[in-house]
Structure 1
Amino acid sequence: MSVLDLARPEIRAMQPYSSARMEASGGRVFLNANESAWAPPGDGELACNRYPDPQPAALVDALARLYGVRPSQLLVGRGSDEAIDLLVRAFCRAGEDAIAIQPPTFGMYAVSAQIQNAGVVTVPLQSDFTLDVDAVLAAITPAVKLVFVCTPNNPTGQLVPLRDVVRLAQALTDRALLVVDEAYIEFSDAPSATSLVNQFDNLAVLRTLSKAWALAGARIGSLVANEDVIGLLRRIIAPYPLPRPCVALAMQALADEGQAAARAHIAIVRAQRERMASALAAMPGVREVLPSQANFLAIRHDDAAAVYQRLRGAGILVRDIQRYPQLGDALRITIGLPEENDRVLDVLQQMAADVAATVNETTAGQGA
């Protein structure tokens, strides 16, 4: 059985759109795309008057080298969100098929499924926020075409061991496509599931330049998968997904100097993550700091709403994750610059002191 047998038959059969840029090979005078012949002011060498390549070869090659795969196994698009949406649209028939997720986890898997009118099968993480492989496999029905696994998980930060990924991929062969989201993998010591793509044709891995590579604003994400899956998604991706300036920024980040800078920043984040975890765990009112292999920490509080408002009042924005299952008392704090982290700790220490002073005043008044 081919992995494409899991995809929508109408997508497999469709004639993909052929863009003008795809037909531009060998051309020197471009009069086929109704573009402007004049570059915009300040354009430099970007040539933004011309449509960009649908899959820029230099960028695809650089990312393939980075992830240790062949260029034919990689699709680049507008962040991981686009790849998630493309997968759901390619594999899930509206009103018939479904995806499987393990909440609490990244919300865009379910959103993309809901937009497609696909079902969402939920298998909650265990009480310690680890993945229950047996429970996931037990929940898979013939309708489930995609199983999303986030590692390190967002918003909790825990890793899914590679052995669990292997077990899932093996068990889901000919049943579903396993999609492993590794948006935060660079902040961990874990090996990437991209090393398994040649072993399992039903495995796809999401990677991004938004986090460790500091390009959230450029929206560069990749899907690594079997060539047949990549070819299928190329049929339905937008004709020109990547703006030329974004591609130029990505190429700078992936050059030797950019890679050295990324490694240095990752080391700082990891050191600051450990410092923040220790400092926060010792604070009054903090119930637990969840172990994290990402660039953030999820923290349980006695009064998460009050902590959120206190930080917000000080101009510090953190993520309120109380709406997530099992996280009704939690906030997520991204690891920032050392001085930004210091500011968070200062505000929370002052809040703890204010609470203690109020308690003392109340106790003294009751004694009087």
Structure 2
Amino acid sequence: MSANDLLALVRPDLRGFGGYSSARKEASGGRVFLNANESPWAPAIEGGEGLNRYPEPQPEALVERLAVLYGAQPDELLVGRGSDEPIDLLVRALCRAGEDAVLICPPTFGMYSVAARVQNAALVEVPLRATQDPARPFALDADAVIAAALGNPVKLVFLCSPNNPTGQALPVATIERIADALAGRAIVVVDEAYGEFMRQPSAVGLRARFPHLAVLRTLSKAHALAGARIGSLIAAPELIRVLRAIMAPYPISAPCARAALAALEPTALAQTQVHIAQLIAEREALRSALEHVPGVLGVYPSDANFLVVRCIEPAVIYRRALAAGVVLRDVSRYPLLGDSLRISIGTPADNAAALAIFTNAAEAAA
């Protein structure tokens, strides 16, 4: 797939759009800064050094470090405010309001549909289906996804892997099949927000064969930087240039960029790997314990840092947990999950508190 073929998927009015020409974009370097109407003095607060200056639009050191982390080239990577900003940018850049469509596979991450609605892009849904396989209780119908994408004006296909809220990663073969069928027709976006917790390789490795495949990653989960809002999109350089042109001039604050760089130092990365292993071990221990609690109907296998628990009275358990100061996620509004709650894996003490909620609820009902 050539660069021209890829750009043909972008809204015609944005293909040559240069975007806002910020002071930092026009000129860098120098010693005396008189081009951005900034204050010449740093604020008189702790940690205020340098905050009187606008940050780099795409912090070069951070982009380079993230590219190494994810196995990409710097010109293939865009840094945004979490994964939410790249999702929104993709929909705005590719979908003409009232004409083009976005395809999702519910139950899945809600921001895909929010971004589509804000852009007035149609939403095409190909729901997951329940299976009888305990190791993979939800399945994505690749044939149905391909048919729906080809039969509608779909510009973007979002595949969440591992999926939120079900927790399962998509088989690599499924991603390959969909990407192969939609070359020249749509951008296939694989959202790997929970990628560090899955056993299979990242879809980034497929990009050499499928230039129209893009991958979302984040430092919010495994790297413990949810408050810094550092997300990445890995995609073809031509598409990255379009998105950089339409995004806000200074999306990443200087303190957040510094925090991300510190989290990507070797010592911090080594500690992150320790925490990932601990979370996976805690996840499996909690799953095993919950499966023996009366009133729990089942616990879905997970490739992420959370578990989805089927239970007899999810609303009652949710309220009991909240009253005890334990905040769970009620996912019963999602398709296929009407009797379910989601538990983020925490410290051993956190997980014990969650287990106690279910155990106590079962004892109260006895």
Does the TM-score normalized on the shorter chain lie above 0.5?
yes
- Cα distance in structure 2, aligned partners of 1:208 and 1:135: 29
- Cα distance in structure 2, aligned partners of 1:348 and 1:221: 34
Cα deviation digits, residues 243-273 of structure 1 (max 9, x gap) = 0000010001000111011111101100000
Write out aligned runs for 1:179-328 (5 A).
Answer: 179-328=189-338
Say if 2:85 is the partner of 1:75: no
Write out aligned runs for 1:36-185 (5 A).
Answer: 36-42=39-45, 44=47, 46-127=49-130, 128-140=137-149, 141-185=151-195
Partners of 1:304 and 1:329 within 8 A in 2: yes
- Cα distance in structure 1, aligned partners of 2:16 and 2:255: 34
Structure 2 match to 1:360: none
Tell me which stretches of 4 or more aligned residues in structure 1 moved more than 3 Å: 42-46
- Cα distance in structure 1, aligned partners of 2:268 and 2:310: 36
Residue 41 of structure 1: how far off its partner (Å): 2.1
What secondary structure, in the 3-state scheme, does the structure 1 residue paired with 2:246 have? coil
**Correspondence for 1:27 among 7, 22, 30:** 30
Say if 2:26 is the partner of 1:15: no
Residue 288 of structure 1: how far off its partner (Å): 1.2
- Cα distance in structure 1, aligned partners of 2:104 and 2:218: 20
- Cα distance in structure 2, aligned partners of 1:291 and 1:8: 40
Say if 2:347 is the partner of 1:344: no
Residue 200 of structure 1: how far off its partner (Å): 1.2
Residue 354 of structure 1: how far off its partner (Å): 1.5
Greater alpha carbon shift after TM alignment, 101-110 vs 256-265:
256-265
Structure 2 match to 1:366: none
Q: 5+ unaligned residues in a row in structure 1: which ranges?
A: 357-368
* Structure 1 letter corresponding to 2:271: A
Residue 198 of structure 1: how far off its partner (Å): 2.1
Q: Count how many residue pairs are aligned between Structure 1 and Structure 2.
A: 356
What secondary structure, in the 3-state scheme, does the structure 2 residue paired with 1:2 have? helix
- Cα distance in structure 2, aligned partners of 1:60 and 1:279: 42
Query: How large is the RMSD of aligned CA atoms in angstroms?
Result: 1.1
What secondary structure, in the 3-state scheme, does the structure 2 residue paired with 1:120 have? strand
Greater alpha carbon shift after TM alignment, 195-204 vs 106-115:
195-204
Say if 2:356 is the partner of 1:354: no
* Structure 1 letter corresponding to 2:148: A
Cα deviation digits, residues 190-240 of structure 1 (max 9, x gap) = 100111222211100000000000000000000001111101101101000
TM-score, normalising length from structure 1?
A: 0.95
Partners of 2:75 and 2:237 within 8 A in 1: yes
Residue 350 of structure 1: how far off its partner (Å): 1.8
Partners of 1:79 and 1:219 within 8 A in 2: yes
Partners of 2:43 and 2:49 within 8 A in 1: no
- Cα distance in structure 2, aligned partners of 1:65 and 1:147: 26
Structure 2 match to 1:359: none
Greater alpha carbon shift after TM alignment, 230-239 vs 347-356:
347-356
* Structure 2 letter corresponding to 1:27: G
Residue 43 of structure 1: how far off its partner (Å): 5.2
* Structure 2 letter corresponding to 1:16: G
Q: 5+ unaligned residues in a row in structure 2: which ranges?
A: 131-136
- Cα distance in structure 2, aligned partners of 1:251 and 1:284: 46
TM-score, normalising length from structure 2?
A: 0.95
* Structure 2 letter corresponding to 1:34: N
Residue 45 of structure 1: how far off its partner (Å): 7.5
- Cα distance in structure 2, aligned partners of 1:134 and 1:92: 23
- Cα distance in structure 2, aligned partners of 1:67 and 1:335: 24
Residue 44 of structure 1: how far off its partner (Å): 4.4
- Cα distance in structure 1, aligned partners of 2:208 and 2:239: 13
- Cα distance in structure 1, aligned partners of 2:107 and 2:323: 27
* Structure 2 letter corresponding to 1:55: Q
- Cα distance in structure 1, aligned partners of 2:17 and 2:263: 36
Partners of 1:36 and 1:50 within 8 A in 2: yes
Residue 24 of structure 1: how far off its partner (Å): 2.5
- Cα distance in structure 2, aligned partners of 1:346 and 1:211: 25
- Cα distance in structure 2, aligned partners of 1:239 and 1:327: 40
* Structure 1 letter corresponding to 2:144: A
